[in-house]
Amino acid sequence: MATALRLADGGHRVRLLERRPFLGGRAYSFPETSWDVGVDNGQHALLGCYRETLGFLERIGAADRLHWLGLRVELREAGRRGVLDAGRTPAPFHLVRALGGYRLLSRAERLRAATGAVRLVVAWKRDPARLARETVTELLERLGQTEAIRRRLWDPIAIAALNVHPSRASAALFAVVVERAFFGRTRDAAIVLPAAPLADVFGGPGAAALGRAGVDVVARSTVQSVRVEESGRVVGVRTRAGASYDADAVVLALPPPAIARLDVGGRPASAVLGSWVGALQTSVPIVSVHVATEAPVALPAMVGLLGTTTQWVFHTDRFREGRRSRGSLLSCVVSDAGALEGWDDAAVIDRVGAELAALVPELGPLRGARFHVVRERHATMAATVEATAARPGVETPCPGLVLAGDWVRTGLPATLESAAASAGLVAGALDRLEPLGRPDLRRGEAA
């Protein structure tokens, strides 16, 4: 949606082909008859440094559907709690303030963590090539961050930001997150949560904005092949249903596994686009367990759990309005959830329920609570060192064929922010593209 809207705003005539009957990409909701609200496919959290995403939401008229939590997070482990709270402290001192009261680390560990953050950014600026070869764990160990500091501070941040365990995650991408969040404006470190179901934040307002911009949206339309003329230039697409669309340019806003199944000019996509198609076939799952309790729960908006399968518990009622139930709605998140592959819903619920009972006693007995398990098996690209190195730019060897999405080389983790940032890269690529000059197509028609 961000790319289509960016191109339409730039004067291009755009047709958007969407496989599903609704828009929203990886941020969507679906109805659940036994609940009084739509159920999100997973709890999405933004940061105040997500300028492209926040700008997109402003453009579609949904910026008022966000809850700015600020930099305040509670983390818990067996028998202990700590709170990262920057209060109103201005940058760059807000990180020091947040760490200053974090009781899961000793004073010496807090000082080492603060200096470690500075050293991390300096290391990235001085030698980005080295960080591109390192994992997060390797980098943090090199910077003198102890196991306790990593486990109680950096690992939860890394897993939340990259959706990959730090032992496999790219240090370069992690450094970008730390630098953007903690070494910019004060508001850059703020946690920003959707104040409405995701469909009412992204898909619905986005579809309305596309309509106002003149974008032709064709739902339930799956692209099967990219049409290429003898010169190698893209001239359109053909769908699985047999429909054919002409275009000056084609933007593939598909994940790599879907691109791998495409035919490009009569050849497999990997043969035309390059080896990255095969290198980016691995994705990482996220499992969310939504819990509706019978009674209200006194819990902060966001609680991190350490040493458990469940990593984050979001108290949805703290930042979303409109629910009529007297109980509370929680969203429990497991990132990099490959360990749960093969578990049925009952087993996942048992594990999450046991961890809530141990670390979230505010809930009390969960008798009568309702659970809903959502599995996003291909939630994000695996942000490993190898996959990060393989990410392509938006331009391809095939003139007129351009890539978009959170997985292209934006310099950011595969997040909503990366997807929105790719829109600007696509617009620049199309501005450099020579038009076909056919009289039936205005300059820059894109499909």
pLDDT digits (tens, 9 = 90+) for 108-124: 999 999 999 999 999 99
**Residue 215: DSSP 8-state:** -
pTM over 0.85: yes
pLDDT digits (tens, 9 = 90+) for 83-110: 999 998 998 899 999 999 999 999 999 9
Tell me, yes or no, if the two domains 2-63+195-280+385-431 and 283-381 fold the same way.
no
What is the reported pLDDT for 444? 44
Domain 283-381 has CATH 3.40.50.150: no
The one-letter amino acid at 238: R
What is the reported pLDDT for 34? 62
pLDDT at 436 over 60: no
Mean pLDDT of the 384-399 span: 97
Question: What average pLDDT does the chain have?
Answer: 93
What is the reported pLDDT for 320? 85
What CA–CA distance (Å, rounded) separates 329 from 59? Answer: 30
Mean pLDDT of the 268-276 span: 95
Mean pLDDT of the 347-353 span: 97
Burial label for 428, CB within 10 Å (0-12, 13-18, 19+), is middle
Mean pLDDT of the 187-209 span: 95
Distance between alpha carbon 113 and the CA centroid of its chain, in Å?
26
Tokens found for residue 358 = 């141990």
Q: Within 362-415, where are the H helices? A: 385-390
What is the reported pLDDT for 324? 62
pLDDT at 141 over 70: yes
How would residue 342 be classed by pLDDT, with cut points 50, 70 and 90? very high
346's CB contacts (< 8 A; 6+ apart) are none
What CA–CA distance (Å, rounded) separates 433 from 28? Answer: 33
- Domain limits, the chain: 2-63+195-280+385-431, 92-189, 283-381
Nearest to 24 by CA among 37, 12, 9, 38: 38
What is the reported pLDDT for 25? 86
Mean pLDDT of the 185-189 span: 94
How would residue 322 be classed by pLDDT, with cut points 50, 70 and 90? low
What is the reported pLDDT for 91? 87
pLDDT > 70 in the chain, percent: 95
Residue 36 CB neighbour total at 10 angstroms: 12
What is the reported pLDDT for 446? 55
Architecture of domain 2-63+195-280+385-431: 3-Layer(bba) Sandwich (3.50)
Mean pLDDT of the 437-447 span: 43
Q: 3-state class of 245 per DSSP?
A: strand
Q: 3-state class of 199 per DSSP?
A: helix
pLDDT at 348 over 70: yes
Mean pLDDT of the 425-447 span: 65
Cis bond before residue 92 (omega within 30° of 0): yes
**How far does the chain reach from its first CA to its final CA, in angstroms?**
12
